[in-house]
Amino acid sequence: MTPEGKVKKAVTEALRKRGDVYIFMPVPSGYGQSSLDYECCYRGRFFAIETKRPGGKPTDRQMQIASLIKRAGGAVFIIDGDLSELEAWLDTTNDPRIE
């Protein structure tokens, strides 16, 4: 497994253990609009994740997509192995439909 593949596996496991996270992993095919590695929804909140090998950095295109998601009100996580920021966000995310 590649270093980035190991990070993706850890992210997928962390999301699945929550049990109520919608997870979509777009498969790039050269057609349509690009996205990040994960598009997810948790407790009514949209977020996206781009995974990188440890020390890896997103491309300019990936940063452009991340910016569009943030401007639309979504959260974005760039993860190269440390899941603490994502875990903290998931732990403190409340369902806006209940507030």
Mean pLDDT across the stretch 9-35? 88
Residue-wise pLDDT tens digits, 29-83: 777 678 999 999 999 999 999 999 999 999 999 999 999 999 999 999 999 999 9
Tally Cβ neighbours within 10 Å of residue 71: 8
How far, in Å, CA of 43 to CA of 21, rounded? 8
User: Phi and psi for 74 in degrees, rounded to 5?
Assistant: -85, 165
Query: Does the reported pTM lie above 0.95?
Result: no
pLDDT in the model for residue 99: 54
Put the strands of the sheet holding 21-24 in their side by side order. 21-24, 38-42, 45-51, 75-79
pLDDT in the model for residue 26: 86
- Tell the residue number behind the tokens 């899941």, with chain if given: 83
